[in-house]
Amino acid sequence: MTNAEIYKPAGRSASIKSRERAANAAIYTVLSVMSLFWLLPVLWLLVSSFRGEPGAYTEYIMPKQWTLSNYTRLFTDTALFSFPRWYMNTLFVAVCSCAITTFLTLMVAYTYSRLRFRWRRGLMNISLVLGMFPGFMSMIAIYHFMKAIGLDQSLAALIMVYSGGAALGYYVAKGFFDTIPKALDEAATIDGCTRNGIFWKIILPSSLPIVAYTALTAFIAPWLDFIFVSVIMKDNYANYTVSVGLFRMIERENIYQYYTRFCAGAVLVAIPITLLFVKMQKYYVEGVTGGAVKG
């Protein structure tokens, strides 16, 4: 306790304390109410995925019948909606585009951060401008291009689309590379290390967090994307990814029969994403603030 507080009149200190307590109580109330709002839909999703009765809602909160059949039928009843296939599609696309994107992004980030060459500033400006066009716009052209070379409605097209823009998403990684002291590079150069060597032996090992962040974001993207898949796949159900597939399940004509199964599918998609997200949470914060947290 500091001196200043000791000499405070007793009455005033008590009023501060009680005001403090009231403020905290108010905050607890607000937080609890908000938590309720935020958690209820999540709980609703979980509960519905185990509900035996079909339909988009019930007039009571807890289901009368609990069942696992929503989950099992996702994998067995695949005549109309082949969830396992969509899941594997998404996994395949995610793994491929994750590998390609990570490599491309890190290569570009290193180049812009460490190497100085004539067109550096020009290329960075072009990237900036290209990034300002709505991504959807280029997609239509890509769709026609894929159609012309016979690749439309294929998973390969999806992979190309997801990893094709990797050269634009270098900002976070570049920002991180920028903070690695240049003295390290210089020392290595004196020891006869080439720039290739510096990239592999110095930059990459000291930026594992950002490698992880880049890889995880790239991996998660295909699970969440909706618009690209629906344009490229049109009505080719077999090559859908989970997001568009699940969307089809709750369209007007299917929702009564498939709603609980949609919930089960959503839970299955959410699990890996949740795990990955928990892992990359702290990188996420560093990413969006561009390392500003470090001051």
Site for other proteins in 145-204 (CB under 8 A): 145, 148, 160-161, 163-168, 178-179, 181-182, 194-196, 199
φ/ψ of residue 114, rounded to 5: -110, -30
Q: Which sign, positive or negative, has the C-alpha torsion 92, 94, 99, 101?
A: positive
Nearest distance from residue 171's CB to other proteins, in Å? 9
What tokens were used for 186?
A: 């210089």
Is residue 62 a contact point for other proteins (CB under 8 A)? no
Stretch that binds other proteins, among 67-75, 202-210, 211-219, 270-278 (CB under 8 A): 270-278
Q: Which is nearer to other proteins, 10 or 132 (CB)?
A: 132
Q: How far is the CB of 196 from other proteins (least distance, A)?
A: 4
The pair of structure tokens assigned to 218 is: 């790239």
Q: Where are the alpha helices (DSSP H) in the chain?
A: 3-6, 10-49, 69-76, 83-114, 120-130, 135-148, 155-164, 171-179, 182-190, 195-198, 204-206, 208-224, 227-233, 242-249, 255-289
For residues 244 and 213, give the distance between their C-alpha atoms in angstroms, rounded to a whole number.
25
Closest to other proteins by CB, 82 or 262 = 262
CA angle 278, 282, 283 (to 5 degrees): 105
Residues 110, 199: contact at Cβ < 8 Å? yes
Footprint on residues 24-43 left by other proteins (CB under 8 A): 24, 27-28, 30-31, 34-35, 37-39, 41-42
Least Å from the CB of residue 31 to other proteins:
6
Residue 165: CB minimum distance to other proteins, A: 5
Alpha carbon distance 264, 268 (integer Å): 6
- Closest CB to other proteins among residues 27, 238: 27
Q: How many residues bind other proteins (CB under 8 A)?
A: 94
Shortest distance in whole angstroms from residue 127 CB to other proteins: 8
Q: Which is nearer to other proteins, 76 or 194 (CB)?
A: 194
Any contact of residue 45 with other proteins (CB under 8 A)? yes
As a whole number of angstroms, the distance between CA 114 and CA 119 comes to 14
Please identify, using beta-carbon distances, which residue of 88 and 123 lies nearer to other proteins. 123
- From 59, 191, 235, 253, residue interacting with other proteins (rule: CB under 8 A): 59
Contact 49, 69 (CB under 8 A): no
Per the CB < 8 A criterion, the answer to whether 266 and 45 are in contact is yes
Shortest Cβ distance from residue 98 to other proteins (Å)? Answer: 15
Among 14, 18, 33, 57, binds other proteins (CB under 8 A): 57
Q: How far apart are CA 104 and CA 92, in angstroms?
A: 18
Smallest gap from residue 147 Cβ to other proteins (A)? 9
Site string for other proteins, 89-108 (x = CB under 8 A): ---------------x--xx
For the beta carbon of residue 3, count every other beta carbon within 10 angstroms: 6
Site string for other proteins, 107-146 (x = CB under 8 A): xx-xx---x-x--xx-x--xxxxx-xxxxxxxxxxx-xx-
Closest to other proteins by CB, 59 vs 191, is 59
Instruction: Tell me the one-letter amino acid at 239.
Output: N
